[in-house]
Structure 1
Amino acid sequence: MHKDAEPHEDGGKREHVGAHMVSVFINGKRHVVPEHATIMRAIEYAGHQIIRGAGCREGFCGACGTIYRLPGDYKLHTGLACTTLVKEGMSLTQIPSVPMEKAVYDLETLTPDVSAILQVYPVTFRCVACGTCTKACPQGLPVMDYIQAAMRGDVAAVADMAFDCVACGLCALRCPAEIIQHEVGILSKRLTGRYLRKESRELDDRIAEVRSHKYDGEYRKLMAMDKAALSKLYYARDLEP
C-alpha cells in the first residue's frame, strides 16, 4: 500500500502511484490497481475483459483459480480471483481450467467402500500425505485428510470433509502424486447420497407431491410472468432472520 505518492520505475520511465493503489503483475505485465480490489476486479480495472472463469463472483463457484507469488516470498500461493485481494508486488496468473481425466462410472455398479475408490480413482493410493493439497485449497478444506479417509474406504467421512469443495482443481494442480482430489470427493458424495444417506420422510413426501403434479399450476404461473414481475416477487419473499 502506498500512503503517499511514490515513484516507480517502468520501462525506463518513472511513474507516481497514488494513495490506495498498488502495483501488481498480471501475466507478467505491471498494472496499478486499487489496493482493496479482488484479483478479478483488478484484472478488469487493468483493462482486461474476463469472458470465462468469472463464474458467480464471490459465490465460490471454483471457476477462477489463480496462482500468485509475493515479493520476497519463495512460495507459490493459490486462491480464487473472486475473493483473494491484491497485494503490493503480487505477480499472478489465472488457471480457469485444470487439465484432468475425469472417470466415467455407473453408481449402480459400485459399493460405498474402498473398492469404489480402487476401481474409479486408483491413483488416490499414490498419496504420500505431504499436505500440499490442503495448503492449496482456497476453501481451507482438509483435503489430505479426506484423501486418507478415501484410502481407508470411509466414503461418508470423505463426503463430509469435501462438502464445501468448489472443484477449482488447485489441489490437483499442486499434487506431486497427480491425484484428482476433488473428483474423489465428488465420487464419495455421490456414493453417500445413493447408498448412505439417512432416510427423510419429509423429502419423500415432497417428491411424491411433485410427481403428483401438485405444483404444476404454480409453475405455469411463474413461467408466464415477465422479468419485472418475477423480480418483484423474488425480493418480496419471506427471508429467514
Structure 2
Amino acid sequence: MQQSDNRYRVLIVDDHLVVREGLKLILETDPRFQVAGEAENGEIAVRLAEQLNPDAILLDLNMPVMSGLEAMRALKSKNIEIPVIILTTYNEDELIADGLELGAKGYLLKDTGREHLFRTIESAVRGETLLQADIVGRAFAARQRREAKQAEVKPQAILSVKEVQILQFVAKGYRSKEIAFDMGISERTVKAHLTNIYNKFGVDSRMQAISAAVEQGILHL
C-alpha cells in the first residue's frame, strides 16, 4: 500500500479545519509520513479512501453528513480494508466502544503527543492495534454500562388481537362473563386468554396487566 518513497500516506478526516491543519503540520514534520488527502465528513472520506487508497485513515467520530462510525460501516460494506485510527475526545466512551467493535486499529485523543501519533499510525499500517490503557478502560466500562442497561429493559410482550381486545374490556371494568358475551366466546376462553396475558407480562392480576400494557404502549387509557 505504501508509495515507492516508503512514506505512509494518511487520509485526515475531521470536520474542524484547525484539527486537520494541526495534524497535517505534525505529519509533515516527519519524512516517514505524507498527507494523502483531507475530508470534512464521512461521506467524502469514503469517496477519497476509494480514490486515494491511503495507508491509514485518521477519523473523527462526530461529523455532519456522515459520522465516523457510519463511514467505517460504509468502508466495511465496500470491502475497503484500510486501517482506521479514531480521533476522539474524553466524552465519547460509548462511541469508542462501537468503533472497537467495527475494527478500529487505534484511538488518539485530539491532544495526543507527536511521537504517540507516529507510533499509532505505524502500528495500524502493520496490522497491529495500539490502544492507550485509559481509553481501553473507558471503552470497556462504557460497554458494561450499555449491557447492564439493556439487561434492565424488559422485552415487549406480544399479544394477539383477541388478547388486546380482552384487555381493553378489562380496562373498562368488564367482568369475564360480560367479556365472553360481547365477544361471542365462552367464559373459560376469556379466562384462558387472561392467563396467557398474565404469563406474557409476568404479572398475576388484572390491574398489573393493564398497567404493563399501558407502560408498553399496547393500551391507551
TM-score by length of 1: 0.20
**Greater helix content:** 2
The structure with more radius of gyration: 2
